[in-house]
Amino acid sequence: MPPATALLAEPQCLAHPDWLYHTLTVSGPAAALTVFREQAAGAGVVPWVYDYDHMEEDWFHLLLAPPAHVRGISAHGARLLARQLREAVWAQHEHATSLVGVSRACPFDLHRLVPVPFAILRLGDDHPDALAWLWENWGTTWALRHVCALPVSGAFRVGFWSADWSPWPALRRIQADWPSLHFHCRAHY
């Protein structure tokens, strides 16, 4: 893992991040690996708390005043579309968050291993304090994507995509929590 001085002080939080592919191999005593695998598996979802009414209002205003080169819609149409967007986002997010603590589909869930505190979840995924917490504790401001178990004998290996940076702070914390295990993470550029 890189030295602490190598980590950037400001959160890297780009609207369109560069996604880096990683493989993480965890090795050690078989019993500890089995317990770790059980503890690491989760829904792969961060249960952010969203203000859907505020989102709907923002969408309404964006739809009502589009850029000059885009044809606008009526206030009534903007209100209807903003409500439909709100309902679609609400349904998808509520379904996803209902899986937290239940689903084990993601073999390496950062929120399960280094949970985001509820006080931070309440701020929302775009709040500066939430981004700072993620950067400091995870090393990335987005949840890992496309996490999958990879075949390996005598160890636990996963592949995943991480936004803009490797999740070094999370891996340091996880390694401290599991001292009998060895963690080797490799970014594939």
pLDDT at 2: 47
The model's pTM is 0.81
Q: Which of 129, 133, 181, 180 is nearest to 24 (CA)?
A: 181
pLDDT at 160: 98
pLDDT at 9: 59
The CATH number of the structural domain formed by 18-47+104-188 is: 3.30.70
Q: Do 107 and 149 meet the contact criterion of CB atoms below 8 Å apart?
A: yes
Tokens 């369109």 locate to: 16
Report how far residue 82's alpha carbon sits from residue 60's, in angstroms, rounded to the nearest whole number.
Answer: 5
pLDDT at 72: 78
Q: Which residues contact 46 (CB under 8 A, 6 or more apart)?
A: 111, 116, 121, 125, 143
- Please name the residue ranges forming H helices in 29-167: 30-40, 52-64, 75-98, 110-113, 118-121, 128-137
- Delimit the domains of the chain by residue range: 18-47+104-188, 52-96
pLDDT tens profile 75-111 = 999 999 999 999 999 999 999 889 898 999 999 999 9
Report how far residue 106's alpha carbon sits from residue 96's, in angstroms, rounded to the nearest whole number.
Answer: 12
pLDDT at 70: 77
Q: Which of 185, 180, 183 is nearest to 35 (CA)?
A: 180
> Which residues in the chain show pLDDT less than 50?
1-7
